[in-house]
Amino acid sequence: MHVPDGLLDLPVLAATWAATCGYAAFAIRKSRKSLTEERVPVLGVLAAVVFAFQMLNFPISAGTSGHLLGFVLVAALTTPTAAFLVMFVILAIQALMFADGGVLSLGANVFNMGVVTLLGYWVFLAVRKRLNSAASTEVLGAGSTDSGSLGPEKRGGAETQPPVERELVVGGLVGGWVSVVAASLVAGVELGASSAFPYGLVVTVPVMLGYHVVIGLGEGLITAATLAFFSRYAPEHVPAPNEQEWLN
Amino acid sequence: MSGSGERKNARFVLVAFGLAVGALFAFLWVPLNFAGPDGLESAIADASGGDQYEPEPPVEYRWAPFPDYSMGGGQGDSYVTSWLVGVVGAAVVLVAALAALKLLVKGRRDP
């Protein structure tokens, strides 16, 4: 979904750069307050993980391939503003070192894959919180506190391997899918609105959505599997649902 | 940071590092890795009725050292060279993210 240079005209480039810079200022301000020095290596390694995963293409249909975006994965393990910064670094390096996505259209790419994908994170969080509260009610109703999804002390403190959190996996699956579909919808709108691309919204939006509703399934599966992996092997680094915020 | 906090971080970094290495090795060995056009490229081809639509950027950026994840302009490239480029890229992303985030944390104005 990396938009190359030449497809977007000046008004679309200017609008997406303005939106990206505005959100970047917000993300930097929020992260300066919330980011601790000990979380820096964790985010650095997550950035490398997402880059490595983006190297892995999976076939979908008719000779087309897809790969992970990774925003919901990083946001689920850290915060959405930190995930935005990680995506910015990855996309900037992909554009400057690998010509993967244009340099002029970097603002649009960061906007699509680091801001619009916030919708996927919100869906992830809504699903996770909803399933978690339902699970907590069931556990309380049964008169037991033996649940893998009550909080970090319960999940991280156990000596035995903690159970993989069901709501984290379901949230990752749905949120990952939504993030790709939302990003492709906006990319389709940008292409259709651009005078540099000779086809309008009626053409660009359906074709972008047509491919990315399928690619989104791959995103959801990889996000869910990776979150399950972290939930299993580094559970103390998976924030509890009540620790996660909508914007930061 | 406390000793237990450092241990937790070290474990996370180790797990995540293992995942990154695993993904890079999967790129090298998994035959499913597929170099067809991505969703955007296919969408552009479909929108333009299968024409080879070549955008003409107003300013062309020509200084990418590994364009399209290849060495030497794509000539004589193999799976292994693409993998090596991927390893270099992952290392550069790691260093750049660490540097940017360190700068962010250091630049914080303490109350």
Model ipTM? 0.86
The three-state secondary structure class of A192 is helix
Q: What is the pLDDT of residue A162?
A: 63
pLDDT of B20 > 80? The answer is: no
pLDDT digits over A27-66, tens only? 999 999 889 888 898 899 899 989 988 888 888 876 788 8
Place of tokens 């650095």: A44
Query: What's the mean pLDDT when you consider all of chain B?
Result: 76
The distance of A126 to chain B (nearest Cα, Å) reads 25
Q: What is the pLDDT of residue B44?
A: 86
> Given an 8 Å threshold on Cβ–Cβ distance, is A98 in contact with B89?
yes
Q: What is the pLDDT of residue A59?
A: 80
Closest residue in chain A to residue B91, using alpha carbons only: A48
pLDDT over 70, % of chain B: 66
pTM of the model: 0.88
pLDDT of A176 > 60? The answer is: yes
pLDDT of A12 > 50? The answer is: yes
- State the Cα torsion A112-A116-A120-A126 to the nearest 10°: 170
Q: For residues B19 and A74, what is the distance between their CA atoms, to the nearest angstrom?
A: 14
pLDDT of A11 > 60? The answer is: yes
Q: What is the pLDDT of residue A90?
A: 97
pLDDT of A139 > 80? The answer is: no
The distance of B90 to chain A (nearest Cα, Å) reads 5
Least confident of A24-33, A84-93, B29-38, B87-96: B29-38
Q: Find chain B residues with C-beta within 8 A of A63's C-beta.
A: 36-37, 42
Q: For residues A100 and A2, what is the distance between their CA atoms, to the nearest angstrom?
A: 6
Place of tokens 């993904």: B23
Which residues on neighbouring strands pair with residue B38, listed in sequence order? A65
Give the pLDDT band (50/70/90) at residue B3: low
> Given an 8 Å threshold on Cβ–Cβ distance, is A45 in contact with B68?
no
- b vs e for A76-99, b when ≥16 Cβ sit within 10 Å of the residue's Cβ? bbbbbbbbbbbbbbbbbbbbbbbb
Give the pLDDT band (50/70/90) at residue A140: low
pLDDT of B82 > 90? The answer is: no
Task: Report yes or no: A180 and A204 within 8 Å, Cβ to Cβ.
Answer: no
Distances (CA, A) of A101 to A107, B8, B43, B67, B87: 10, 36, 15, 10, 19
> Given an 8 Å threshold on Cβ–Cβ distance, is A38 in contact with B58?
no
Distances (CA, A) of A31 to A17, A71, A87, B33: 20, 16, 14, 36
